[in-house]
Structure 1
Amino acid sequence: MSQSYKNKYAVILGGSAGLGLATAKKLAHEGMNIIIIHRSRRSVVAAFEDAVREMEVSSCEIISYNTDALNPKKRQETVDDILAKLGKGVIKLIVHSIARGNLKPLYDTEGGNTLSNEDFKGTLDAMAVSYYDWVSAFAKAELFTPSARAIAFTSEGSSRAWPQYAAVAAAKAALESISRGIALEFAPLGITSNCIQAGVTDTESLRLIPGSDKMKEMAVKRNPYQRLTLPNDVANAVYLLTRDEASWINGTTIPVDGGEHIR
């Protein structure tokens, strides 16, 4: 176990599957205690609990909150509970991996259901503003360690267009901007903030996007290594950013895609 992780915790927002769960597993393997905040349906709770038991083999503490991370009251209750259980200055890392967006077209020639103002607001709140909400809540509660890290998962969609992805794309662009703001304005607390732009990864969230099979096919062709990004690729990058040697990386968006973005 790294001494820099001793008695330190990583908070994973949206850690029950995909990139978030892979990150939790990697950090647990490296000796960091894990707090997973997720919203899991009954049908997937058993699989999530199995994953938690696997992480516990690493002799680190795993704390799980199955709650609505977007509800201000639930957020404060969770922060208060963490503070009561663990005390101040224990959170080394917060990872934002919440994927809850509206996938609808902007325009439908047949008069079908299109994105509404509320769809945009809900997606932006879930996938962008909530990053700031949680960082701010932990900071106010003095839960962060000195030299803490805040990391959010973005995608190439923040600067590209894809059918029925406009609300999520807007949220990803906003997320990157919020991350830069956190990098600047939370610096006095010793907190860095960065986004990881994962390559196309075959997760449940990706499969919900209309045309995702075509997206995966195109990604493999563009990628110099001719494969999709894996959740573990992203988890490894998160781990690297938690290292002491990464303390001067701040306010940027880092592609973790094997070079997919260069083509």
Structure 2
Amino acid sequence: MDLGLTGKTAIVTGSARGLGAATARRLAIEGAHVIITDISAESAHRLTRALTAEGLSAHCIVADVTRNDDVTRLVDETLSVFGGVHVLVNNAGFPRDAYLVDMTDQDWDAVIDVMLKGAFLTTRAVMPQMIKQRWGRVINISSRAHFGNPTQVNYATAKAGLIGMAKAIAIEEGRYGITANCIAPGFMDTEMIQALPTYEVIKERALRSQPVKRPGAPDDVADAVAFLASERASFISGEVLHVTGGRYG
């Protein structure tokens, strides 16, 4: 199936590894020019070199999505290198878990700033170009955690906020041929999750709760992003696609 992404330009935030890296690779395989952007310069450059060695179109821009000047530079350089920006995947984020009574201001601010402020700044920065093109896709990577998880008040709030943001953008910008959607992954077997000391407990709980009895893989999310970014999804907007193996609560 031709997804109609050949020649389009996609920015994937937090794309040095994990879900972001898999998403960037999939979009590049579909023919898109991909911007790899992350605060981890070494990992971002490594992935960019790997993609270009495979004959795919990728360019690395190291940026902190919580800084407006970095985001402005990110979009300006994207336009300079590829001449447009058609797809934005707001993927940057991380957990910083603690029970509410133990959660510090820094725990709250760090998670909210990267996921919510970062998505706001990047979406605002690309929107004038998407409006000019009369074509755009904004895809926020939310989480099944938007239903709520213990020790994740900050993370669940940010992920729920990304859904509200996408729904508002869908209503506001749809007249310009721009869609906005969310993907809500469930348990994903990523390097970041595997590094947690509670990895085995989290994995066992997830597999017990979800109908599809296997861990999710980064490619599962990447495939969903590619679909929502494509011409095939041009009449889908303001939606949340759960990639959870059937697990919701």
TM score, norm. by length of structure 1: 0.85
Cα pair 2:35 2:78 within 8 Å, conserved: no
Cα distance in 2 for partners of 1:28, 1:50 equals 15
Instruction: Say whether 1:83 aligns with 2:83.
Output: no
Q: Which amino acid aligns with 2:33?
A: N
5 Å matches for 1:59-78?
59-78=55-74
Q: Which runs of 5+ in 1 are unaligned?
A: 108-113
1:204 match: 191
Shift of 1:250: 0.6
Cα pair 1:99 1:205 within 8 Å, conserved: no
Shift of 1:151: 0.6
Cα distance in 1 for partners of 2:3, 2:155 equals 38
Q: Count residues with an aligned counterpart.
A: 249
2:177 match: 190
Q: 1:3 to 1:103 in 2, by over 3 A?
A: closer
SS across alignment from 1:216: helix
Give percent identity, aligned residues only.
Answer: 28
SS across alignment from 1:150: strand
Rg: which structure is higher?
A: 1
Q: Which runs of 5+ in 2 are unaligned?
A: none
1:228 match: 215
Cα pair 2:3 2:232 within 8 Å, conserved: no
Cα pair 1:26 1:235 within 8 Å, conserved: yes
Q: 1:217 to 1:260 in 2, by over 3 A?
A: same
Cα distance in 2 for partners of 1:79, 1:224 equals 41
Cα distance in 1 for partners of 2:78, 2:5 equals 18
Cα pair 2:38 2:62 within 8 Å, conserved: yes
Cα pair 2:65 2:121 within 8 Å, conserved: no
Greater Cα shift, 219-228 or 98-107: 98-107
Query: Over residues 196-241 of structure 1, what are the superposed CA-to-partner deviations in whole Å (9 max), with x where a residue is unaligned?
Result: 0112012233346673432211111223231111000111111111
Cα distance in 2 for partners of 1:158, 1:225 equals 20
Query: Over residues 106-157 of structure 1, what are the superposed CA-to-partner deviations in whole Å (9 max), with x where a residue is unaligned?
Result: 12xxxxxx22345323322211232122111111355874331111111111
Over the residues paired in the alignment, what is the CA RMSD in angstroms? 2.4
5 Å matches for 1:95-244?
95-107=89-101, 114-141=102-129, 145-162=133-150, 164-207=151-194, 211-244=198-231
TM score, norm. by length of structure 2: 0.89
SS across alignment from 2:86: strand
Cα pair 1:31 1:59 within 8 Å, conserved: no
Cα pair 1:29 1:55 within 8 Å, conserved: no
Q: 1:144 to 1:23 in 2, by over 3 A?
A: farther
Cα distance in 1 for partners of 2:173, 2:113 equals 20
Cα pair 1:91 1:143 within 8 Å, conserved: no
